[in-house]
C-alpha cells in the first residue's frame, strides 16, 4: 500500500471518498506524471469534517486539508450561475449531493471521472471513451457559465499534445468570449503559466486564435507568430514566455506583463529579451565601448543569475550561439586591479575591462 494512502486511512473520514480530477485522468491514460491528488467527499457535512480533524480552507465552498497528508478534500457540490464572470456562482454542498452531480459541474469529460476507495470507476459523462479517443470535450452546456474554461481548455491542449478539442466544444468557447474581461488577471496568469510548462505550449496560442479569444488579455501580442517561434525552436517554460520579448518591443511586453501581473523575475526576463536580445546577438560585431555599454545596460556584470537566464532565453529564441558572450562576462567578472586607491578602483577596473574586451573580443 502506498504510504500516503496508509496515512489517509488512519484518519476516520466521514462519508464516501473519491479521487477525482487530473490524478484520475492521468492514471487512466497511464501517464507517468506527478499530478496533485484531489478528493471529493460524498455524504458528509463541514461539521463532521472538522470533527475528524480536517481544517477548512475554502471561503466559497467547503474545502478541507487532511490532518496528516495535507491534501485537499472537498465536499461534493453543485453550482448554479447567478452573475457574470468566474465568481458568479451559488454552490450547494449538502450531504445529499451525489458524486455524479459533482462530476457534472466539471469542465471536460476527461476530468469528470472518479475512483472510489474500492477502485470502482465512476464515469457518468463518457470520460473514459474520450481519453481513449484523445478528445477534449465539455461535460454539459453549463460549460459556458465560466469564461475561465476557455483558457483551461487552451492549457490542456498544451499539456496533452495528442488530444484535440471537440468541434462542439470549440463552438461553445467562441460563444463565451464576451465575459473574458471579467476574469481576474491572477487566474488568467495561472492558466497561461501552466500551459507554458507543457510539452506543446504553442497550442495554447493557437487554440485562443481558433475561437477568437485573443482579446482582451493577449490583444497586443502577435500570438500566432509567438506560437510559430515556440514550435520552431521547441521552447518551453520561461523561454516560451520569453519568445514574446524576442518578437515584440519593450513597451508592448511591459504592457502585457503588467496586465497579467506576471511575477517580477519572469517579467524582468521578458522585458530584458525585448530590450537587449538583438544587441547580444550582434555583440561580437560591435566596437569595444558599445560592447561595454550593452553589458552594463543588461546588468551582465552584476551578481546573480539574471544575465545567464537572459542569454539562455536569447540563445533559445534566436538559435544564436552566445557561448563567447558567456565566456567574456565570466572573464570580466574575474578581473581585478591592484595598487590603486579606493577612489580610483572603479575607474581603473572599467579601463581594465575595456582593454580586455579590445584585446580578446571586440572587432
pTM of the model: 0.89
> Mean pLDDT score of the chain, rounded to an integer?
92
pLDDT for 80 equals 78
Q: Which residue carries 465560466 as its cell?
A: 146
Q: Is residue 334 scored above 70 in pLDDT?
A: yes
* Amino acid 84: pLDDT: 62
Tens digits of residue pLDDT in 10-62: 789 999 999 999 999 999 999 888 788 999 999 999 999 999 999 999 766 78
Q: How many CB atoms neighbour CB 6 within 10 A? A: 11
**Residue 8 confidence class, pLDDT cut points 50, 70, 90:** very low
Rounded to 10°, the helix 185-196/250-260 angle is 110
Tell me: the pLDDT tens digits for 184-217? 999 999 999 999 999 999 999 999 999 999 999 9
Q: How far apart are CA 210 and CA 155, in angstroms?
A: 14
Of 3-7, 30-34, 118-122, 357-361, which range is least confident?
3-7
Phi/psi for 315 (5° steps) reads: -60, -40
Amino acid at each position: 500500500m502506498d504510504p500516503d494512502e496508509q496515512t489517509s486511512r488512519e484518519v476516520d473520514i466521514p462519508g464516501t471518498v473519491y479521487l477525482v480530477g487530473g490524478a484520475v485522468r492521468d492514471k487512466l491514460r497511464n501517464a507517468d506524471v506527478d499530478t496533485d491528488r484531489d478528493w471529493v467527499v460524498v455524504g458528509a457535512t463541514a461539521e463532521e469534517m472538522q470533527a475528524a480533524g480536517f481544517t477548512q480552507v475554502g471561503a466559497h465552498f467547503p474545502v478541507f486539508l487532511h490532518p496528516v497528508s495535507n491534501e485537499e478534500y472537498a465536499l461534493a457540490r453543485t453550482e448554479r450561475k447567478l452573475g457574470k464572470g468566474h465568481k458568479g456562482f451559488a454552490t450547494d454542498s449538502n450531504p445529499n449531493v451525489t458524486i455524479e452531480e459533482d462530476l457534472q459541474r466539471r469542465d471536460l469529460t476527461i476530468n469528470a471521472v472518479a475512483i472510489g476507495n474500492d477502485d470502482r470507476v465512476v464515469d457518468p459523462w463518457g470520460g473514459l471513451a474520450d481519453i481513449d479517443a484523445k478528445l477534449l470535450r465539455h461535460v454539459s452546456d453549463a460549460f459556458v457559465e465560466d469564461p475561465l474554461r476557455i483558457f483551461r481548455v487552451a492549457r490542456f491542449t498544451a499539456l496533452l499534445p495528442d488530444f484535440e478539442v471537440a468541434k462542439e466544444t470549440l463552438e461553445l468557447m467562441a460563444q463565451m468570449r464576451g465575459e473574458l474581461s471579467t476574469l481576474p488577471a491572477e487566474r488568467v496568469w495561472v492558466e497561461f503559466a501552466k500551459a507554458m510548462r507543457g510539452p506543446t505550449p504553442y497550442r495554447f496560442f493557437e487554440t485562443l486564435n481558433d475561437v477568437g479569444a485573443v482579446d482582451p488579455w493577449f490583444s497586443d501580442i502577435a500570438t500566432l507568430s509567438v506560437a510559430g517561434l515556440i514550435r520552431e525552436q521547441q521552447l518551453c517554460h520561461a523561454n516560451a514566455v520569453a519568445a514574446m520579448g524576442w518578437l515584440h518591443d519593450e513597451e508592448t511586453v511591459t504592457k502585457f506583463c503588467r496586465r497579467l501581473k506576471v511575477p517580477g523575475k519572469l517579467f524582468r526576463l521578458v522585458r530584458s529579451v525585448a530590450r537587449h536580445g538583438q544587441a547580444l546577438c550582434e555583440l561580437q560585431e560591435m566596437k569595444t565601448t558599445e560592447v561595454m555599454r550593452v553589458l552594463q545596460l543588461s546588468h551582465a556584470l552584476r551578481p546573480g543569475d539574471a544575465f545567464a537566464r537572459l542569454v539562455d532565453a536569447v540563445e533559445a529564441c534566436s538559435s544564436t550561439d552566445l557561448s563567447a558572450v558567456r565566456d567574456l562576462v565570466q572573464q570580466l567578472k574575474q578581473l581585478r586591479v591592484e595598487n590603486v586607491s579606493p577612489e580610483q578602483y572603479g575607474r581603473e577596473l572599467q579601463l581594465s575591462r575595456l582593454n580586455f574586451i579590445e584585446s580578446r573580443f571586440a572587432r
